[in-house]
Amino acid sequence: MARNTTVKADHNAPAITELLAKFVVNHPSKGWSDKVDYEAHRTFANWFGCAIGPSQHETVHAALAAVSELSPAPQAAILGRRERVDIANAAMINGISSHTFDFDDTHLKTIIHPAGPVASAVLALGEHIGSTGREMIDALVLGIEVSCRLGNAVYPNHYDRGWHITGSTGMLGSAAACSRLLKLDAARTQMALGIAASQPIGLREQFGTMTKPFHPGGAAKAGLMAALMAKHGYTASKRALEAPRGLLQVFSDKTDWAEVTEKLGETWEIEINTYKPFACGIVIHPSIDGCVQLRNQHNLKPEDISKVTIKVHSLVLELTGKKTPADGLQGKFSVYHSCAAGIIFGRAGEHEYSDEVVNREDVVALRSKVEAIVDDSIDEASSDVTIETTDGRTLHVFVEHAVGSVERPMTDEQLKAKFVDQSEPVIGREKAEQAWTLSMQLATLSSVKNLLGAATPA
């Protein structure tokens, strides 16, 4: 039987489960600046397009086929598809879809993809219970605040340990957001957070498989069900997050409680959310950006290149060091392929991560000329890119912050282009434009009926 060998129990943690529950329940609607509300709409719209784009992908097909075995009630929409399923599974499938192309948003402080677990639950539940757009934006902001602050409290130790932090904190953001939408009181919201705390989802080991996008989807579903259970009186520990054997102390060796408590309700994590310009792991972005910059400045063609050298932090290779990716999904975890794609195509959208492109002869040839050197003096958000040409030139750029970062945010025009680029093949140009416009106006909509109509193919 067990010895009591737990070494690091902190018995003086603040009561953050209660604190967050009260915050989620009591914070006023739009109790933040216009800037925060604007970023919330960009977060929602970016997520919405990212969920439509992969809706016909085999990952979504497989998940939906499994769910269909339950003969689910047609309660809520699956973005980009005509099928409808129950709210828990709609949350799961939209969460899976939105992360399938690895093209969604990133809270760079923790590498959490915040929208997937929260927006997926908010939309499915909100559609079913008839929430207004304003209520949904409120729930989205508050839910993301909960998951990102808890992420801040355990990052990087928790992530380094091997957890995929998007899913392992996301169920708490989803539970918070759904509790808000359901208008639960603080005591029940505290229980919802507690029930969700027993269900962290996600291992980094799954990167490169369909189970990676399952993590935000599973988290969305777990949080939604936790809120429904709490609504009906299901109980959990009141200190499920902070107790010596609460979630944060169990799944992380270090916890900074101040990240949860300080300036709660005054600063907003969604304000520093970012959106991916490239359909791959965020740590590759500065390297692609550098390759695209040099390509465009010097009008480079693949045949001009003799060698590409990138100097990056060790984390970049740890996460995306796949030298010879076999298919599109593996390509997203290959800084080598990504740099080659950036040079050949001048972009790295979903198309550049198709099985076909990843195995194309010219892409494979250029990929083999890319060398990555670890230099931990370089920040993970940066990259030092040098291209040597066959005619003897050495071209160099140091990318401190990639496009799409907090410092160099995507413009609304770029976001819209990304949205339409993904959605048009699924729902057509007109609906894609309409879905973008309505997403960016969500807080003014009395219901999501028209928005979901736009997201459904004819």
Residue 229 identity:
M
CA–CA gap between residue 157 and residue 251 (Å, rounded) = 9
Binding mask 16-55 for a copy of itself (x = CB under 8 A): ----------------------------------------
Minimal distance, residue 250 CB to a copy of itself, in Å: 4
Residue 247: CB minimum distance to a copy of itself, A: 6
Q: Which of 98, 245, 227, 89 is nearest to 166 (CA)?
A: 98
Residue 56 touching a copy of itself (CB under 8 A): no
Q: How far is the CB of 31 from a copy of itself (least distance, A)?
A: 29
Q: Which stretch binds a copy of itself (CB under 8 A): 30-38, 115-123, 214-222, 432-440?
A: 214-222
Beta carbon nearer to a copy of itself, 282 or 438? 282
* 232 in contact with a copy of itself (CB under 8 A): yes
Nearer to a copy of itself, 202 or 331 (CB): 202
Burial 201-224 (b: 16+ CB within 10 A, else e): bbbbeebbebbbbbbbbbbbbbbb
Distance of closest approach, residue 199 Cβ to a copy of itself, in angstroms: 6
Closest approach of Cβ 419 to a copy of itself, in Å?
Answer: 27
Number of chain residues interacting with a copy of itself (CB under 8 A): 81
Residue 225 binds a copy of itself (CB under 8 A): yes
Cβ distance to a copy of itself smaller for residue 164 or 337? 164
Contact 140, 169 (CB under 8 A): no
Torsion of CA 315, 316, 320, 324, to 10 degrees: -120
Q: What residues from 275 to 314 belong to the interface with a copy of itself (CB under 8 A)?
A: 283, 313-314
Q: Does 458 bind a copy of itself (CB under 8 A)?
A: no
Q: Does 111 bind a copy of itself (CB under 8 A)?
A: yes
Is the CB of 381 or the CB of 415 nearer to a copy of itself? 381
Report DSSP letters for 213-251, one per residue. HHHHHHHHHHHHHHHHHHHTT----TTTTTSTTSHHHHH
Task: State yes or no: residue 163 binds a copy of itself (CB under 8 A).
Answer: yes
The tokens 């809706």 sit on which residue?
55
Q: How far apart are CA 349 and CA 421, in angstroms?
A: 9
Of 11, 28, 82, 233, the one binding a copy of itself by CB under 8 A: 233
- Rule CB under 8 A: which of 242-281 touch a copy of itself? 243-247, 249-251
Judged by CB under 8 A, which stretch of 161-169, 267-275, 363-371, 412-420 contacts a copy of itself? 161-169
Contacts with a copy of itself in 73-102 (CB under 8 A)? 73, 75, 86-88
Footprint of a copy of itself on residues 359-398 (CB under 8 A)?
379-381
Q: Does 231 bind a copy of itself (CB under 8 A)?
A: yes
Type of residue found at 146: V
Contact between 354 and a copy of itself by CB under 8 A: the answer reads no
Q: Is 407 an interacting residue with respect to a copy of itself (CB under 8 A)? A: no
3-state SS class at 251: helix
β-partners of residue 325 are none
Instruction: Report the sign of the C-alpha dihedral through residues 13, 190, 6, 167, in that order.
Output: negative
User: 36-47: buried (b, 16+ CB within 10 Å) or exposed (e) per residue?
Assistant: bbebbbbbbbbb
Of 42-50, 67-75, 131-139, 255-263, the segment contacting a copy of itself by CB under 8 A is 67-75
Q: Is 405 within 8 Å of 108 (Cβ atoms)?
A: yes
Question: Residue 157, interface with a copy of itself (CB under 8 A)?
Answer: yes
Token pair of 21 as six digits: 């529950």
218 in contact with a copy of itself (CB under 8 A) = yes
CA distance 176 to 161: 25
**What is the C-alpha separation between 219 and 203, in angstroms, rounded?**
13
Per CB under 8 A, 229 contacts a copy of itself:
yes
Segment lying near a copy of itself (by CB under 8 A), choices 189-197, 265-273, 296-304, 434-442: 189-197
Stretch of residues binding a copy of itself (CB under 8 A), selected from 3-11, 271-279, 356-364, 425-433: 3-11
Retrieve residue 87's tokens: 């709210």
Sheet holding 370-374, edge to edge: 370-374, 305-312, 383-389, 394-399
Say whether residue 201 binds a copy of itself (CB under 8 A).
yes
Q: Is 186 an interacting residue with respect to a copy of itself (CB under 8 A)?
A: no
CA atoms within 13 A on the CB side of 398: 4
- For position 69 contacting a copy of itself by CB under 8 A, the verdict is yes
Is 72 in contact with 83 (CB distance < 8 Å)?
A: no
CB of 253 to a copy of itself, least distance (A): 9
Contact 216, 120 (CB under 8 A): yes
d(CA 305, CA 286): 19
What are the DSSP calls for 402-418, one per residue? -TTSSSSPPPHHHHHHH
Q: Is 61 in the site for a copy of itself (CB under 8 A)?
A: yes
Q: Smallest distance from the beta carbon of 341 to a copy of itself, in angstroms?
A: 23
Bond preceding residue 72 cis, omega within 30 of 0: no
Overall residue count recorded for the chain in this entry: 458
**CB nearer to a copy of itself: pick between 103 and 163:** 163
